[in-house]
Amino acid sequence: MFEVQPTLPSYSSDEMMTVTAARFLSDRQVCFVGIGLPSEAANLARLSHAPNVVLIYESGTIGTKPDVLPLSIGDGELAEKAEFVVGVPEVFAYWLQGGRIDLGFLSAAQIDRYGNLNSTVVGGYEEPKVRLPGAGGAPEIATSAGEVIIMLRHSERAFVPSVDFVTSVGFGRGGEGRPERAGRGPTVVITDLGVLRPDQSSNELTLVATHPGVSLEDVRVKTGWELAIAPDLAITEPPTDGELEILRDLKARTIVAHGG
């Protein structure tokens, strides 16, 4: 356990989130990666403690080792630095559905207490308040990957009692459990405030750690349901200097590469 410092942290909440997620990847795992924070976390892991992690993007780039973070899922960098490139039908059929993926990353606009995710609409489907991009690869990542890591910033709008649409299934609307023949589903949810894991018996997401300087009240206020708290609630280890240096170098290279 580390001691809480009275000074402001020298890292951002997004950096805390990315570093925490990276630590959940182990070397030689095969990982299906999306754009944004998951891509940052996966590449941080690759550049630090997991040099042999295999990163697969849904554009069909397999075993890719980008020098800079891609802006889009189909940036040239991903193809140029890939061990090989396949078509999109193959990446979903042989590699994801075929059971070759250990770990998938997902995010969404909404999550409920059973790890079900919505990236389709806010409001009703026929007359949406906000039309979101939709499913993409998520529904099958949620069921075909060995396990799923969810990254989502904490807010009452995102952590809702009931998602408006189940785009990707966690443990079902009533927490009834995983579909037959599916992977383990969400094993961890990493937010800018802490870490949640599904309870072994109830499947309900339970706060297992808060990030340094975050109070229980902070998390409760931004969670739209009565949040379950683990009895042995931990505090996340803050980012090390080494982790921050690698992450910041990566992001600085990315900004230069994308022309600011």
Partner 1 sequence: MESSKQAKLTTLRDAIATHVADGATVAMEGFTHLIPFAAGHEIIRQGQSDLTLVRMTPDVIYDQMIGVGSARKLVFSWGGNPGVGSLHRFRDAVEHGHPHPLELEEHSHAGMAARYTAGASGLPFAILRGYVGTDLAKHADMATIACPFTGEELAAVPALSPDITIIHAQQADRSGNVGMWGITGVQKEAALAATTTIVTVEEVVDELTPRGPNHVVLPSWTLAAIAPVPGGAHPSYAMGYSRRDNAFYTRWDRISRDRDVFRDWVEEHILGTEDHASYMESIDRGAGHV
Of 73, 174, 176, 158, give the one whose Cα is nearest residue 118.
Answer: 158
**Whole-angstrom Cα distance, residue 226 to residue 103?**
29
Given a contact cutoff of 8 angstroms between Cβ atoms, the answer to whether 22 and 45 are in contact is yes
Task: Tell whether residue 78 is a contact of partner 1 (CB under 8 A).
Answer: yes
Active-site residue list: 58
Q: Two tokens at 35?
A: 């754009």
Q: How many CA atoms lie within 13 A of 59 on its CB side?
A: 19
Residues between 79 and 118 that touch partner 1 (CB under 8 A) = 79-80, 82, 84-89, 92-93, 96-97
Residues 6+ apart with CB under 8 A from 92: 58, 137, 140
Task: Please give the Cα distance from 128 to 115 (Å, whole number).
Answer: 22
Min separation Cβ 114 and partner 1, Å: 11
Stretch that binds partner 1, among 127-135, 148-156, 219-227, 241-249 (CB under 8 A): 127-135
Q: Is 75 in the site for partner 1 (CB under 8 A)?
A: yes
Q: Which stretch binds partner 1 (CB under 8 A): 133-141, 152-160, 214-222, 239-247?
A: 133-141
Query: Any contact of residue 254 with partner 1 (CB under 8 A)?
Result: no
Beta carbon of residue 90, minimum distance to partner 1 (angstroms, whole number): 9
Contact 136/88 with Cβ under 8 angstroms? no
* Position among 9, 172, 212, 213 found at the interface with partner 1 (CB under 8 A): 172
Q: Which residues bind partner 1 (CB under 8 A)?
A: 35-36, 58-61, 70-76, 78-80, 82, 84-89, 92-93, 96-97, 120, 125, 128-140, 143-144, 165-169, 172, 179, 181-182, 258-259
